[in-house]
Amino acid sequence: MNFIKRVFSTVIGIFVFLAICFIGLILLGALFGSGSDEGVNVKANSVLELTLDFPIKDYAGKTEFAEYPFLNENNKNGLFNIIDAIKYAETDIKIKGISIDNNFINAGISQTKALRDALLKFKESGKFIVAYGDIFSQKDYYLSSVADTIYLNPVGMLEFKGLFSERLYFKDFQEKSGFKMEVVRLGKFKSAVEPFIANKMSDNNREQISVYLNSLWNEMKQDISISRNIPVERLHIIADSLLARNPKLAKLSNLVDKVAYHDEYVDGMKHALGINRKKDLNIVPIADYAIHADKKINNFNKNRIAVIYAEGDIIYGEGELGRVGQGTINASLQKARNDNKIKAVVLRINSPGGSALASELIWREIELTKKVKPVIVSMGDMAASGGYYIASNAHRIFAEPTTITGSIGVFGMLPNGKKLADNMGINAEQVVTNQNAVTYSFFEPLNNKQREFIKEGIIDIYDLFSTRVAQGRNLTREQVEVIAQGRVWTGTDAVNNGMVDELGGLDLALKHAAELAKIEEYQIREFPIFEKDLDKMLEDFGIVKSKETILMEELGDENYKILKEIKAMSNKKGIQLLFPFSTKIK
């Protein structure tokens, strides 16, 4: 009897605890939801601090809770929120300058260039930009090179050595583990699956990586050359000989202006502002200021342009923040198409591609939208393979010089565990009614007939992909074949070969969309809007941890990334339009 009482009291206790947690969440939501609408109090003589050590996404995302609207989220720390904040700071009399302080930027190269361009425009206002680093990574330095004065810690370091990309190969791992990937591909440059069928990089893959890395590096060097007044040839020598590897050499190479400690850096800003050294400097973090600027920017207008963000891998399904699904993208296109106040659509693409089926479904929705109103594409860091598929039929395509695009190729990949099963003493037997009933089994290798069926589907998709590009870009199939075969191109190259119309960022894409819609002033509406479930809400509040969080803590960041890459590739079932290699550039 006492045992039953103890069990019953434990169960009651659990329910009471959960109820208290739930009520607490509601109270927290109500509390945060009713906070100040200003976000931050900007004082006179303030300095805007540009520290971007959080993951920078083009779109910070809008999240809605169907049952708890007071918990709705509309974050303002996306790339273009930050750029808008920098633009607003140009005319904000309380902001006297910008400090890029120990940045450790967590953004792509094209995103970094977009921020850099915004800072160059800010300098035209006559306000100062200064930068300080204990450690400058190459992307940190690329951004900071716009500064009037660059400081480096006396015991710090500056990385200036050129770019590299690393790819893991798993063929031997597959042989040893017994778990392998069955691969069928089309396009000699389509090397997304190369790590599963080879032990080393192919010449074609090495060629395309080398071409695009050198193109990116040349763009960075040219920008730095202009800002620092150092010839490009000299920058190449500095990188080759590591002539900026310590503070003394960095200053001798003219990559930095002052070797000093952080307190001296702060004192320098105080001196520029005429502030007593004993007084505190008014620092405004960019994340807070972005919220403030958004409240202050009043661009209400009856005319609107929809900006729809397609950011992340393309998957078949609903999609979520960081993953492009035809569900959310097509719903956004339909809303924009049916809203009479929305006069044009700008599709902002930052995606390596993914599901061929989802790409085609999104393409179809874009085609329907084009018949009603202008559709313009703005490419971010990447719009490759499936990302280019959905871009190809826009009225006009804009890309950054450092955008990676193209990769017009197709592959199919299926996991196979035959050898692994044999090693574990597992045998699979099939019983069929028809000779082709077994189109695929995890426990059996693909036979010639199955492989032919898959290849037939891949050829059909490749043919459709090429046709879409030819029609959208007004090219012949022969011209498409020259730029296809899975090869990747930078934005600059893509303009030259007809894949892209013009170099420029989202601002130019919006300007062109307004011109096509024949409007001068407009308000931007951002899509998609995501839903959030209770599990995710609890995780965000730290009450529970996801399995991904636990794995990351146990394995460490680098090991977790390797595991995640293997898992991601093994989960890509069916025919894929995907960027051919790892996108991480170091």
User: What pLDDT is attached to residue 532?
Assistant: 66
pLDDT tens digits, 6-45: 545 565 656 555 556 555 555 555 444 434 444 578 999 9
Q: What angle do CA 478, 481, 483 make, to 5 degrees?
A: 120
Would the CATH topology of 46-161+242-295 be identical to that of 299-578? Answer: yes
Count CB neighbours of 315 within 10 A: 20
Count CB neighbours of 433 within 10 A: 5
User: What pLDDT is attached to residue 68?
Assistant: 55
CA–CA distances in Å: residue 501 to residues 30, 95, 376, 491: 48, 37, 11, 10
CA–CA distances in Å: residue 575 to residues 204, 306, 457, 459, 544: 22, 31, 8, 10, 36
Question: Could you give the 3-state DSSP secondary structure of residue 586?
Answer: coil
Residue with tokens 């559709």: 375
Catalytic one of 76, 96, 113, 190: 190
Mean pLDDT in residue range 492-515: 96
Mean pLDDT in residue range 133-162: 97
What's the CATH code, domain 299-578? 3.90.226.10
Mean pLDDT in residue range 446-451: 88
Q: Tokens standing for 112? A: 């970094």
pLDDT band at 525 (very low <50, low <70, confident <90, very high): very high
**Is residue 135 a contact partner of residue 239, using CB atoms and an 8 Å limit?**
no
Please indicate whether residue 215 or residue 297 has the higher confidence score (pLDDT). Answer: 215
Mean pLDDT in residue range 504-510: 96
Is 385 part of the annotated catalytic residue set?
yes
Count helices and strands in the chain by DSSP H and E runs: 21, 23
Half-sphere exposure of 297 (CA within 13 A, CB side): 20
Catalytic one of 144, 385, 392, 466: 385
DSSP tag of 320:
B
Mean per-residue pLDDT of the chain: 86
Q: E-assigned strands of 288-374?
A: 304-311, 313-315, 323-325, 342-351, 353-355
Q: How far apart are CA 400 and CA 490, in angstroms?
A: 8
Residue spans of the domains in the chain: they are 46-161+242-295, 299-578
CA–CA distances in Å: residue 333 to residues 73, 306, 338: 21, 9, 9
What's the CATH code, domain 46-161+242-295? 3.90.226.10
Is 94 part of the annotated catalytic residue set?
no
Looking at the chain, how many residues does it have?
Answer: 586
DSSP tag of 4:
H
The DSSP result for 203-225, as a single string, is HHHHHHHHHHHHHHHHHHHHHHH
| pTM recorded for the entire structure | 0.83
Task: Name the amino acid, one letter, at 180.
Answer: K
User: What pLDDT is attached to residue 36?
Assistant: 42
For the chain, the farthest-separated pair of C-alpha atoms sits apart, in whole angstroms, at 88
